[in-house]
Copies of this chain bind each other. A is one copy, B any other.
């Protein structure tokens, strides 16, 4: 069912006891650098270290009892897999996560740490889909897609609800854009709560299918991603393209250089650990592809699961 603000508020009721109401942080230095008042919604402090806890939790606790007993499956390069594993553990049901062999080590450890079963596949979409299909055929698992799923999207929208409860004076909200689940939920929620608000996606130039899709007016799925934002390499689905086209106001693109610069600024001045995949929104502001001058701007910092041995500004 297409998410509405009522459905998103129902999701909020469903997941509230399980997730953190994450804090909002600011940095005077970053405000001076950008000429705006930036409010970081710190989903890096969320359960499992990412906003994905919201959608996964909503999906798991929306399952009927018989389906839940069979278990769930998903594919994920990382945070959604960990989030689904965590949420399934809360309900005491079985989760299986299909993971590309080349996924970052800390994310694989997290999925296993939350008690899910990992099934490895070759790092391409066909292998991934085949592995999922096999598991569903064999065990009757319920697929919980990372973003092409209305119940997941409704859960992701709860971050924007909280942000606007805390800071109703926001003029703009920007979320990173990968598959489009977060941006869909954010735009649907924010526009319903405050119709005058602008909602943008921040997208790496190295994975700019979202911007190309909006520019062309139809979904573009050809993409060879070239970005350190491992959470943003996927393309939109018809569903998220439709929601974003309808509810969001545009996409700001950012180079890898500005993404790394934004990440480092956030670490250095906000003193918080965030993933590269969080950083296209601030990077797009630094790059000038989103104009936020003088505005109150909410940015959803989507996750904090970083391999501390592989920082993008450290050569070695």
On A, residues with C-beta under 8 Å from B are: 23, 25, 44-45, 49, 106, 264, 267-268, 271-274, 304, 306, 308-309, 311, 313-316
- CB contacts (< 8 Å) of A274 on chain B: these are 271
Q: How far is the CB of A41 from chain B (nearest CB, A)?
A: 14
Can you report 14 residue pairs joining A to B where beta carbons are below 8 Å apart? A25-B45, A44-B271, A45-B271, A267-B273, A267-B308, A268-B306, A271-B273, A271-B274, A272-B272, A272-B273, A309-B314, A311-B314, A314-B314, A315-B316
Q: How far is the CB of A225 from chain B (nearest CB, A)?
A: 25
A44 to B25, CA, bound (A): 13
Determine which residue in A44, A268, A315, A316 has the highest number of CB atoms from chain B within 10 A of its CB, and name it: A268
Q: Are B273 and A304 in contact (CB under 8 A)?
A: no
- CB contacts (< 8 Å) of A264 on chain B: these are 308
**Complex A-B, nearest 8 residue pairs according to Cβ-Cβ distance, in ascending order:** A316-B316, A271-B304, A271-B273, A44-B271, A314-B314, A272-B272, A267-B273, A45-B271
A22 to B309, CA, bound (A): 29
Q: Are B304 and A313 in contact (CB under 8 A)?
A: no
A9 to B314, CA, bound (A): 44
Q: Which residue of B lies closest to A47 (CB)?
A: B28
A19 to B87, CA, bound (A): 38
- CB contacts (< 8 Å) of A309 on chain B: these are 313-314
A315 to B49, CA, bound (A): 26
A314 to B315, CA, bound (A): 10
Q: How far is the CB of A155 from chain B (nearest CB, A)?
A: 21
- CB contacts (< 8 Å) of A272 on chain B: these are 271-273
Q: How far is the CB of A315 from chain B (nearest CB, A)?
A: 7
Q: Which residue of B lies closest to A301 (CB)?
A: B271
- CB contacts (< 8 Å) of A268 on chain B: these are 106, 273, 306, 308
A273 to B304, CA, bound (A): 11
Q: Are B314 and A271 in contact (CB under 8 A)?
A: no
Q: Which residue of B lies closest to A307 (CB)?
A: B268
Q: How far is the CB of A261 from chain B (nearest CB, A)?
A: 12
Q: How far is the CB of A306 from chain B (nearest CB, A)?
A: 8
Q: Which residue of B lies closest to A29 (CB)?
A: B113
Q: Which residue of B lies closest to A106 (CB)?
A: B268
- CB contacts (< 8 Å) of A25 on chain B: these are 45
Set B49, B106, B313, B316: member contacting A271, Cβ < 8 A? B49
Determine which residue in A25, A45, A49, A274 has the highest number of CB atoms from chain B within 10 A of its CB, and name it: A45
- CB contacts (< 8 Å) of A313 on chain B: these are 308-309
- CB contacts (< 8 Å) of A44 on chain B: these are 271
A271 to B267, CA, bound (A): 10
